[in-house]
Structure 1
């Protein structure tokens, strides 16, 4: 009898612990800096990487290590900046607030207050600060003066680990040959990995078929 994998529309539970983060040459420097956060120059760091590269994951790892809070940059306009500045803080997606005068002003004040109080700040962004298009010169100066580390696009080993993690987060169980098959055929990018897992999940759910090489080939043929 052929065994079929049942597919259910289950919620995605993203694993964000340190043990769930796979280290490779593409991210080893960033991981080392996160783990050695007490030695950051000027007590701040900018984590730069493409979507899906692990910025949020590493921000959560750092928040656990440093007993820090995490906030999205665009949410700063609704936040109590003096209260946020009373401890270590991670601000995500800082490049999303370009041309938002209120958000830029809030990030500028949070940066200054937190550091003045002796706390540590982690920033994340998809691009380097000179490409954000910030309109507040003082904020642009401070961001460009922040030490940065880059999460690079994945090598084969990291791409395989990312595919497996994305499937595990979705509670999917691919056959053993599926991940190597995909790794050899999709673009070397985190976005491509996320897209193909989204499509596999949707097709498996719609058809009730197991996630295996045949289903992966069908998705790639599309």
Structure 2
């Protein structure tokens, strides 16, 4: 098997509610798990706090929909303007509202109105939205900004180092990796501490280990980062050793 084929195996685990490491965000996770048709939820926090993970995990249920700003700007409006007699998805998860342009903001505004109209009917659906700051500080049109706080609102806190260690260890276990604690500790010490980038780095290390036929060690990790033929664009710049 050539190097490229080796690098294409074992994709990173998809975000689920089961593999989300809550840390101090246990109440938010419980609210996401319990989100029922007719309820809305807004999650906010800095990059790397797990907003997208929770929304994608919630939207992994059958017929649920996940929408972000990479998708067609008309997606939200088409959901809001669907035939009033048509069944809505049980869950609509809308990510990164802080990056929405005017068209997407208008679509989300209409979707909130549709959610409220349906909330007490047999067409009720759950609406989960996420952004990088509290509703009052969100750079959105005023009528949409107020709707973000219509129901449940939770701030997500970044993971502690202990939580990140647990998260990376869990990812390694899920992938069947035998990973020495010093490898994860090196990652936490010498890399940026965004859990998404750390998880992507672990994924790349797994692939590099397969490609080179070497066990995962700190030496292999450092060799991967120094390899000019290895491209890992998600990994941040190494800190000075």
- Across the aligned residues of Structure 1 and Structure 2, the Cα RMSD in angstroms comes to 3.5
Q: CA deviation at 1:160?
A: 1.3
- Structure 2: any 5+ residue segments left out of the alignment? 120-124, 226-237
* TM-score normalised by structure 2 residue count: 0.68
Alpha-carbon distance in structure 2 between the residues aligned to 1:47 and 1:66: 22
Q: Which runs of 4+ in 1 moved over 6 A?
A: none
The superposition leaves residues 44-64 of structure 1 with CA deviations (integer Å, 9 ceiling, x where unpaired) of: 111123334332332233335
The superposition leaves residues 105-140 of structure 1 with CA deviations (integer Å, 9 ceiling, x where unpaired) of: 111001111221113210012333344322x22112
Which residues in structure 2 correspond to 1:1-222 (within 5 Å)?
8-10=6-8, 12-25=11-24, 27-38=25-36, 43-63=39-59, 68-73=64-69, 75=71, 77-79=73-75, 80-81=78-79, 82-83=81-82, 86-87=88-89, 88-97=91-100, 100-118=101-119, 119-134=125-140, 136-145=141-150, 147-164=152-169, 173=177, 175-177=179-181, 178-191=183-196, 193-194=198-199, 196-197=201-202, 200=205, 204=209, 209-217=214-222, 219=225
SS in 1 for 2:165: helix
Paired residues, what number?
209
Q: 1:58 to 1:184 in 2, by over 3 A?
A: same
SS in 2 for 1:77: coil
SS in 2 for 1:160: helix
Alpha-carbon distance in structure 1 between the residues aligned to 2:109 and 2:69: 11
SS in 2 for 1:110: helix
- Structure 1: any 5+ residue segments left out of the alignment? 1-6
SS in 1 for 2:7: coil
* TM-score normalised by structure 1 residue count: 0.73
Q: CA deviation at 1:28?
A: 1.0
Name the one with the larger helix percent.
1
SS in 2 for 1:103: helix
Alpha-carbon distance in structure 1 between the residues aligned to 2:111 and 2:201: 38
Determine if contact 1:49/1:151 at 8 Å carries over to the other structure. yes
